[in-house]
Structure 1
């Protein structure tokens, strides 16, 4: 699958049952981009050491790899408390600094309000405060890292993306268009592709099985995959990343099989 599409074909750093380095070694000759799923907590951390980072950089140089870095899931950029927004921006900044030496395609960021908070249940006033909070934390993040804003790609989640689009647009962020989420939550994939693909540096692709997402692409409706591939053909960008956001070797192999009919 490597260098066989008009985009950078990739998957996550958790395909085989091992740490990040063995996964990248396994995937290096199979994909163009690897999504680094990084996290740290009081109980557990998978953050690579400086020595590991140098190894990741060497593997990238030797195999024409890039990395899309998924910023931590436990950051809440839309939290009502300024202290929590500051903590979240700081946590993102630590990952940005940690991965500085890597060749990166994008940073993937979630806009959330707090652990377990359902943004779909917000009143109009709560929505407005959420959006204001996102603007505040976005300014904090950009002030701290000096990155081009377009390298930060804000992902669609379980609420309508048009709620946060003004923040994405104002700050010059790009989009992570998660097609698996669109299909799972029932959003109109065709409309999202038409509206947001031009700003999407990253696509996340996965299917739904037994009521759960992040399964093999073989579980995504074929018509949805056809729709995405047609849109990518009409809007070519060889630097755009197409990530199989899955987490097992079996799902990776069956997803690759589902993509074979689109090989160049």
Structure 2
């Protein structure tokens, strides 16, 4: 279902199984797979070198790309320099592990210390610590800065947009998070679409996100898709659109809706 300027993808957690069985299942169905990685005490799903080799082979066979989602529990804005250093080390380790996959982009959370419309009780300190983490990361990697895509989370993106611009980063526009928080999605798209490299799309209903698109607001979804396609037509930039859902039923319902929308636009 290739669309001009859009690589349609989903997550590596559609089947209740490890990454490799998911990629084998999804490779014929999508253009991109988001590798959702985690690494915490006693638990890790980081693929072995052998699995990475198999992922690379599947990508070659199916013209598949990967987006790499860094772990969620890193704290780039922490006041503790040890935690910030650990964040950079974790990111660098994953970059090294996945380098042979030639990722389309890396999804990075500038994780808030509070959930909601402010990221921290000490916003200026948190912001400055995020800046230090980003600078340290970029000084220690040869990956192009535009490959790092800062995700829209619960707080308004204006808290970190200056960092994206200062370090010449890209954006992961999770429109579902925008809808969930009740922010003006049109204003967000006006502000961020040109810097967006990766989009996350999922249904939002009754305060719950990451639902299938069939459970979301059809008008909101259609408007977002229209704006995204228009942006691609205007600038010719290829982007990834990830259906960020986590079950077979949600994935197939979402893909079906996306196919219907594409058919209506042509």
After TM superposition, the structure 1 = structure 2 runs for residues 162-173 of structure 1, keeping only pairs within 5 Å, are: 162-173=158-169
Matched, 1:204 2:203: no
The aligned runs of 1:84-103 (5 Å cut-off) are 84-103=83-102
Count how many residue pairs are aligned between Structure 1 and Structure 2: 260
Residues 180, 220 of structure 1: 8 Å contact kept: no
What are the equivalent positions in structure 2 for 1:172-183 lying under 5 Å apart? Answer: 172-183=168-179
Cα deviation code 1:57-94 (max 9, x no counterpart): 00001100000000110111111111111111111111
2:119/2:155 contact within 8 Å kept: no
Q: Distance in 2 between matches of 1:194 and 1:202?
A: 16
Q: Unaligned 5+ residue runs, structure 1? A: none
Contact 1:105 1:239 in 2 (8 A): no
1:166 Cα deviation after fit: 0.8
Name the SS of the counterpart of 2:87 in structure 1. Answer: helix
Aligned to 1:107: 106
Cα distance in 1 for residues equivalent to 2:191 and 2:112? 24
CA offsets 1:174-230 (integer angstroms, 9 cap, x no match):
000000100111111111111100000000001124532111011221111121121
- Give 5+ residue unaligned stretches, structure 2: none
Residue aligning to 1:234: 230
Distance 2:36 2:179 in 1: 22
Question: Match of 1:63?
Answer: 62
**Alignment partners' CA distance in 1, 2:215 and 2:32:** 22
Q: Which residues in structure 2 correspond to 1:134-173 (within 5 Å)?
A: 134-173=130-169
Distance (Å, rounded) in 2 between the aligned partners of 1:87 and 1:118? 25
Equivalents in 2 of 1:170, 1:238: separation in Å? 21
- TM-score normalised by L of structure 1: 0.94
CA distance in 2, matches of 1:121, 1:38: 23
**1:82-113 per-position Cα deviation (integer Å, ceiling 9, x unaligned):** 11111111111111111010031100000024
CA RMSD of aligned residues (A): 1.6
Taking the aligned partners of 1:105 and 1:228, their CA distance within structure 2 comes to 22
TM-score by length of 2: 0.93
Q: 1:229 to 1:168 in 2, by over 3 A?
A: same
Give the structure 2 partner of residue 7 of structure 1: 6
Matched residue SS, 1:235 = helix
Q: Structure 2 CA distance, aligned partners of 1:253 and 1:41? A: 31
Partner of 2:221: 225
**Are the equivalent residues in 1 in contact too, given 2:9–2:30 (CA < 8 A)?**
yes
1:44 matches 2:43: yes
SS in 1 for 2:140: helix
Q: Secondary structure at the match of 2:39?
A: coil
Matched, 1:193 2:194: no
Q: Matches of 1:93 and 1:121 in 2, distance apart?
A: 25
